[in-house]
Amino acid sequence: MNTRTRRELLAGVGAAAAAGLAGCTGALLPGGDGGDDDAAPVDRTGEESVAVAVGADGGFSFAPAAVRVDAGTTVVWEWTGVGGSHNVVDRGGAFDSGLAAAEGHTFEREFATPGTYEYVCTPHQTRDMEGIIEVVER
């Protein structure tokens, strides 16, 4: 016979629910690893072309969500076909891919000027579908 008190039962259920919510929300943050918004970008300096998946991790993330590249690097976003229609839109207005849903669709841009470029998928920005390209001097 189980002799747990109501208080013990509710405490266990509450802890399990909190842990589940923490795991769900963390996966949508830049970096794709459940880390915080200040997660270090993935270092891809030294590469001429860098791929970023659109619709990763269940359909509502970019992977990697934060990436560091050299000036002159081309970033190629490739749609996974998951999560519906997505786009890649620079918050500063530097680029806009237009909406697409098809797996294998690509959009590319060469980043010639050093700086930080923050971008979002506008249909899914409320789900924190956002990314950062940090461009550094060679």
| pLDDT (tens digit per residue) in 86-138 | 999 999 999 999 999 999 999 999 999 999 999 999 999 999 999 999 999 98
* pLDDT tens digits, one per residue of 2-24: 444 444 433 443 433 333 333 33
Count the alpha carbons within 13 Å of 70 in the hemisphere toward its beta carbon: 8
Residue 17 belongs to what H/E stretch? helix 6-26
Q: Which amino acid is at 105?
A: H
**45 phi and psi angles, rounded to 5 deg:** -65, 150
78 by DSSP, 3-state: which? strand
23 by DSSP, 3-state: which? helix
| Tokens at 37, concatenated | 């918004």
Other beta carbons within 10 Å of 60: 21
pTM surpassing 0.85? no
Is 117 within 8 Å of 62 (Cβ atoms)? no
* Domains in the chain: ranges and CATH: 6-136 (2.60.40.420)
d(CA 50, CA 64): 10
